[in-house]
């Protein structure tokens, strides 16, 4: 089991910085939850409070219904994988993986079996006698994972474990983590600043900004219905285009362009968000603009343009023949437009 | 990168000259002179000298007081290494935990390092003087401490005097060593192991090994060579010659006893000891204890 409840968790550092502010969240048994946000947003602090490495200023953390606020990190039954792997440099891979078990008084035979099983699972059984300094980055990452898995904890905590790997290895490990988690069904919390990792890994994503949870939801929810302007901008690549606008009776005005929305909103200070791939280029398009710059990405290309001084980008298939300096025509479907109130920052 | 080539063949010697001159005058010339002394015998009035072969060496090996000094130096360096290392480590571990006023602790604990050995000796003198010494009377009341007569008590005196300042050196290096340990490695071990003490001996201490071995060498060399000023300002070798280090004995025999031949031979013996320590350091320590 691994049912985690966070109730009004707050962390204030001695210097007065509020890292986490009144965060409440329930994580179901076997669920894979990703904390995502810009660096310094408090996501790691929250994870470290769950691990017990950081004191909680106020609030309650309970695991399977038991309050764990004051339980020693070693007795919380959580395992953590660190960004820089944090392997014990003086110990062999085998000892790295068995250290936590040994300290919990598990018999030698059982330790041997467990370590060997996990090593086989992660394909590091050839490396058991090596020291971490003799391993590559990817192998170290596997050992760090193995050290967590072998403990058979209630919860896995991942603190940006992929950010030290190169792009190719990162994708590979990402898939593997997802597969392992599905296979073992252990509750997992994964901290990252990379929205691709968040989208691909999480059953649910928790978007955090400035110590506050902006939105909790499935990747699809978060992408298609961002609750705040921050979430809209943070999730999705390339970033969502945001236009300052004034909405009168369902008509959004962005300088000389007018977009008819399928509602009757009236917002003085609004922000209109349109994802780059929701700008539909066609010869019969209602609007037109000048392509300032074209980025070719293989199958796709990104066009940078502007409307009345507000820059935006659109993503389209690179089969379309368009180059910088061309005028292009496009349509916007009202159903793909996200409207935010600039005053509150919330979705309207 | 392209190396810079100078046309002149002589300018490099010109720029090297000051350094070479210092080395020649203060290092190589005395070494040559020492070798000369070690293999010659001077007459009692210093008027003449003659080649003596290994007579000076045979003489010191047959001299019981040389072995007393040898024994004392070994005991002295081992005890000082142990005491300064363990107290330095303890202080470093504790200071590393302090959050408020961290720098005050650090500064205060590093200060003694800046004091010259002779000054340390003079200060120790105040504590161990028979007339007004605080520690002298404390120990005297406890077990009849009297370093003027008792060898063991004299050892205690010079060991305390010799350790105090060196604890600071150990403290600095251990603190630096502790701070060089990756924070996440310690955090990982906090999740893996509940007992602080067990965690220290299985994770922190092994990771401090490079520092520890470095300090063992530093401490031994310190006790061997840098405690001259301390011995000279505290016991002056008393009682008898029981607390003379090898360096101190060579000095006394050479400059007070005017037996330059014996002093030279003793110096060469010390060179050989240093040679062994250096070989040991390079072979066993430099190569083996680095992890990354």
Question: Pick from A72, A78, A133: which is nearest to B194 by CB?
Answer: A72
| Interface contact B191-A84, CB threshold 8 A | no
Contact A140, A146 (CB under 8 A): no
Mean pLDDT of B77-104: 91
Alpha-carbon span A253 to B132, nearest angstrom: 94
Non-local (6+) Cβ contacts of A25 within 8 A are A5, A6, A33, A206, A213, A216
Contact B244, B69 (CB under 8 A): yes
Mutate to test the interface with B, among A71, A86, A98, A148 (most CBs of B within 10 A): A86
Q: Does B250 fall in a domain?
A: yes
| Interface contact B207-A74, CB threshold 8 A | no
**ipTM for the assembly:** 0.85
pLDDT digits (tens, 9 = 90+) for B197-212: 999 999 999 999 889 9
Q: What angle do CA A231, A203, A198 make, to 5 degrees?
A: 45
Confidence of residue B2 (pLDDT cuts 50, 70, 90): low
Mutate to test the interface with A, among B177, B180, B184, B192 (most CBs of A within 10 A): B192
Contact B133, B246 (CB under 8 A): no
Is residue A238 reached through a cis peptide bond, with omega within 30 degrees of 0 on the bond before it? yes
Question: Pick from A52, A82, A103: which is nearest to B184 by CB?
Answer: A82
| Closest of A141, A151, A159 to residue A54, by C-alpha | A159
Q: Does B173 fall in a domain?
A: yes
- Long-range contact set of residues B129-132: C-beta below 8 Å, sequence gap at least 24: none
For B46, half-sphere exposure in the C-beta direction (CA atoms, 13 angstrom radius) is 6
In percent, how much of chain B has pLDDT > 90? 50
Q: Does B249 fall in a domain?
A: yes
Mean pLDDT of B39-45: 78
| Interface contact B207-A73, CB threshold 8 A | no
Which domain does B267 fall in, by range? 66-291
Alpha-carbon span A181 to A183, nearest angstrom: 5
Question: Residue A254: its pLDDT value, please?
Answer: 85
pLDDT beyond 70 at B224: yes
CATH code (residue B235): 1.10.3720.10
Which positions of chain A have pLDDT values less than 70?
none
Nearest Cα of chain B lies from the Cα of A33 at a distance, in angstroms, of 21
Q: Does B37 fall in a domain?
A: no
pLDDT digits (tens, 9 = 90+) for A56-101: 999 999 999 999 999 999 999 999 999 999 999 999 999 999 999 9
Nearest Cα of chain A lies from the Cα of B95 at a distance, in angstroms, of 19
| Interface contact B188-A88, CB threshold 8 A | yes
Mutate to test the interface with B, among A76, A78, A81, A82 (most CBs of B within 10 A): A82
Confidence of residue B10 (pLDDT cuts 50, 70, 90): confident
pLDDT beyond 60 at B269: yes
Question: Residue B47: its pLDDT value, please?
Answer: 73
3-state secondary structure chain B: CCCCCCCCCCHHHHHHHHHHHHHHHHHHHHHHHHHHHHCEEECCCCCCEEECCCHHHHHHHCCHHHHHHHHHHHHHHHHHHHHHHHHHHHHHHHHHHCCCCHHHHHHHHHHHHHCCHHHHHHHHHHHHCCCCCHHHHHHHHHHCCCCCCCHHHHHHHHHHHHHHHHHHHHHHHHHHHHHHCCHHHHHHHHHHCCCHHHHHHHHHHHHCHHHHHHHHHHHHHHHHHHCHHHHHHCCCCCCCCCCCCHHHHHHHHHHHCCCHHHHHHHHHHHHHHHHHHHHHHHHHHHCCCCCC
Give the nearest chain B residue to A131 (CA atoms). Answer: B291
| Interface contact B187-A86, CB threshold 8 A | yes
3-state secondary structure chain A: CCCEEEEEEEEECCCCCEEEEEEEEEECCCCEEEEECCCCCCHHHHHHHHHCCCCCCEEEEEECCEECCCCCHHHCCEEEECCCCCCCCCCCHHHHHHHHHHCCCCCHHHHHHHHHHHHHHCCCCCCCCCCHHHCCHHHHHHHHHHHHHCCCCCEEEEECCCCCCCHHHHHHHHHHHHHHHHHHCCEEEEEECCHHHHHHHCCEEEEEECCEEEEEECHHHHHHCCCEHHHHHHCCCCCCEEEEEEEECCEEEECCEEEECCCCCCEEEEEEEECHHHEEECCCCCEEEECCEEEECCCEEEEEEEECCEEEEEEEECCCCCCCCCEEEEEECHHHCEEEECCCCEEC
List the beta bridge partners of residue B70: none
Question: Pick from A53, A74, A83: which is nearest to B192 by CB?
Answer: A74
Q: Does B160 fall in a domain?
A: yes
| Interface contact A83-B184, CB threshold 8 A | yes
A90 touches chain B (CB under 8 A): yes
| Closest of A155, A121, A129, A140 to residue A52, by C-alpha | A155
B180 touches chain A (CB under 8 A): no
Question: Pick from A80, A84, A133: which is nearest to B191 by CB?
Answer: A80
**Nearest-10 crossing angle of helices A137-149, A167-184:** 20
Alpha-carbon span B173 to A172, nearest angstrom: 42
> Taking phi first (over 0 means left), then psi (-120 to 50 degrees means alpha), and beta for anything else, what does residue A249 get?
left
B 207-246 residues inside an 8 A Cβ radius of A: 207, 209
Alpha-carbon span A211 to A16, nearest angstrom: 13
Contact A201, A190 (CB under 8 A): yes
Alpha-carbon span B256 to A87, nearest angstrom: 59
Question: Pick from B187, B198, B292: which is nearest to A133 by CB?
Answer: B292
Alpha-carbon span B204 to B233, nearest angstrom: 39
pLDDT beyond 50 at B135: yes
Question: Residue B292: its pLDDT value, please?
Answer: 47
Q: How many domains does chain B have?
A: 1
List chain A residues with CB under 8 Å of B207: 88-90
List chain A residues with CB under 8 Å of B213: none
Predicted TM-score (pTM) of this structure: 0.82
List the beta bridge partners of residue A313: A304
Mean pLDDT of B162-177: 93
| Interface contact A100-B198, CB threshold 8 A | no
Q: Does B224 fall in a domain?
A: yes
B98 touches chain A (CB under 8 A): no
Mean pLDDT of B94-107: 85
Q: Does B282 fall in a domain?
A: yes
pLDDT beyond 50 at B61: yes
| Interface contact A74-B292, CB threshold 8 A | no
Q: Is A167 exposed, middle or buried (0-12, 13-18, 19+ CB in 10 A)?
A: exposed
| Interface contact B188-A82, CB threshold 8 A | yes
B191 touches chain A (CB under 8 A): yes
Contact A242, A272 (CB under 8 A): yes
Q: Does B143 fall in a domain?
A: yes
Mean pLDDT of B233-257: 88
Q: Is A116 exposed, middle or buried (0-12, 13-18, 19+ CB in 10 A)?
A: middle
Mean pLDDT of B281-286: 72
């Amino acid at each position: 089991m691994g049912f985690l409840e966070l109730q009004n968790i707050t962390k204030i550092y001695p210097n007065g910085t509020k890292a986490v502010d009144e965060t409440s969240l329930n994580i179901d048994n076997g669920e894979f939850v990703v904390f995502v946000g810009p660096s310094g947003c408090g996501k790691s602090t929250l994870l470290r409070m769950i691990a017990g490495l950081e004191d909680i200023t106020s609030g309650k953390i309970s695991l399977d219904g038991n309050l764990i606020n004051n339980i020693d990190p070693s007795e919380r039954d959580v395992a953590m994988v660190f960004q820089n792997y944090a392997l014990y440099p003086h110990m062999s891979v085998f000892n790295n993986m068995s250290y936590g078990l040994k300290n919990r008084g598990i018999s030698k035979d059982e330790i041997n079996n467990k370590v060997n099983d996990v090593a086989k699972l992660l394909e590091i059984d050839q490396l058991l006698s090596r020291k971490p300094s003799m391993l590559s980055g990817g192998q170290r990452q596997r050992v760090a994972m193995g050290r967590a898995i072998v403990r058979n904890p209630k919860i896995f905590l991942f603190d940006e474990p992929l950010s030290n790997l190169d792009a190719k290895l990162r994708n590979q490990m990402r898939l593997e983590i997802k597969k392992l988690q599905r296979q073992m069904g252990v509750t997992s919390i994964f901290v990252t600043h990379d929205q691709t990792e968040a989208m691909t890994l999480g059953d649910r994503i928790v978007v955090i900004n400035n110590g506050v949870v902006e939105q909790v939801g499935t990747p699809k929810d978060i992408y298609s219905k961002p609750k705040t302007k921050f979430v809209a901008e943070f999730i999705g690549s390339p970033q969502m285009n945001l236009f300052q606008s004034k909405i009168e009776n369902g008509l959004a005005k962005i300088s000389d362009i007018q977009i008819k929305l399928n509602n009757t909103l009236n917002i003085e200070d609004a922000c209109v968000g349109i994802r780059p791939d929701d700008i539909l280029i066609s010869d019969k398009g209602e609007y037109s603009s000048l392509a300032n710059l074209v980025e070719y990405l293989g199958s796709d290309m990104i066009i940078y343009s502007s409307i009345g001084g507000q820059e935006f980008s659109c993503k389209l298939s690179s089969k379309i023949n368009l180059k910088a300096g061309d005028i292009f025509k496009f349509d916007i479907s009202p159903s793909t437009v996200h409207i935010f109130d600039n005053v509150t920052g919330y979705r309207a | 990168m392209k190396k810079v080539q100078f046309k002149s063949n002589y300018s490099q010697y010109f720029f090297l000259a000051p350094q070479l001159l210092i080395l020649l005058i203060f290092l190589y010339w005395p070494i040559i002179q020492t070798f000369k002394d070690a293999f010659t015998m001077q007459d009692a009035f210093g008027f003449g000298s003659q080649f003596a072969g290994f007579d000076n060496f045979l003489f010191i090996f047959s001299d019981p007081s040389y072995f007393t000094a040898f024994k004392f130096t070994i005991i002295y360096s081992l005890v000082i290494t142990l005491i300064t290392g363990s107290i330095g480590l303890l202080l470093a571990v504790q200071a590393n935990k302090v959050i408020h006023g961290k720098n005050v602790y650090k500064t205060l604990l590093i200060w003694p390092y800046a004091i010259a050995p002779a000054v340390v000796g003079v200060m120790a003198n105040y504590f161990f003087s028979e007339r007004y010494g605080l520690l002298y009377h404390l120990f005297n009341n406890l077990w009849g401490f009297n370093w003027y007569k008792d060898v063991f008590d004299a050892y205690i005196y010079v060991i305390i005097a010799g350790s105090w300042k060196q604890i600071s050196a150990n403290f600095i290096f251990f603190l630096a060593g502790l701070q060089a340990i990756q924070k996440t490695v310690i955090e990982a071990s906090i999740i893996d192991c509940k007992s602080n003490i067990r965690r220290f001996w299985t994770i922190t201490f092994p990771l401090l090994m490079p520092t520890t071995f470095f300090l063992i060498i530093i401490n031994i060399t310190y006790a061997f060579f840098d405690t001259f000023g301390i011995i000279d300002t505290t016991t002056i070798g008393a009682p008898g010659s029981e607390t003379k280090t090898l360096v101190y004995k060579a000095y006394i025999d050479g400059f007070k006893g005017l037996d330059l031949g014996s002093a030279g031979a003793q110096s060469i013996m010390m060179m050989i000891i240093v040679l062994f320590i250096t070989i040991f350091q390079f072979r066993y320590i430099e190569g083996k204890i680095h992890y990354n």
